[in-house]
Amino acid sequence: MGEIRTGARPASLTMWGGWGCVAIGVGHSALVAAMTWRHWAGWMAGELHWGLGSPELPHSKLAFWAMPGSFAVPLILLGLMAVGRAREGRALPAYVGWVLLAWAVFGAYVLFPTFGFFLVLVPVALFLLDGRRAAAVPR
């Protein structure tokens, strides 16, 4: 599945899926950063140190887990990794698409109605389709 395709076009669906993951992660970060900026000074001052279980700062804690503690940075890294593999003419392993699919469906169910988790289904479909296409190419 992750083999280099000799004589084939780069893994274009993987490339698009990767850039989709980057866009979703950057978009999420920008949107939530604009909504949580007032908490940043407190985070940098250490208001969350040793007190993650205390009830005094629930809004600051929620804001932290919505932005810097969220899925956005790993999703951006996954997208950049997918773009790099696509430039080598390789698709992502199928398990990446399947795990990302399970995560997106679970997140969409828990946070319904949500827009972000449904957006993740687009790169998932592209990763799975390109992986299937790569598997069909004779080696």
Q: In the chain, where are the structural domains located?
A: 12-136
Q: How far is CA 18 from CA 26, 41, 61, 67, 89, in A?
A: 12, 33, 30, 21, 13
Kindly report the length of the chain. 139
pLDDT for 7 beyond 50? no
CA 117 centroid distance within chain: 9
Q: Give me the pLDDT at residue 58, please.
A: 80
Summarize the confidence of residues 7-22 as an average pLDDT.
83
pLDDT digits (tens, 9 = 90+) for 34-89: 999 898 888 888 888 766 556 667 888 888 888 888 899 999 999 999 999 999 98
3-class SS of residue 117: helix
Query: Which range, of 27-36, 45-54, 105-114, averages the lowest pLDDT?
Result: 45-54
- 136: pLDDT strictly greater than 60: yes
The average confidence (pLDDT) of the chain is 85
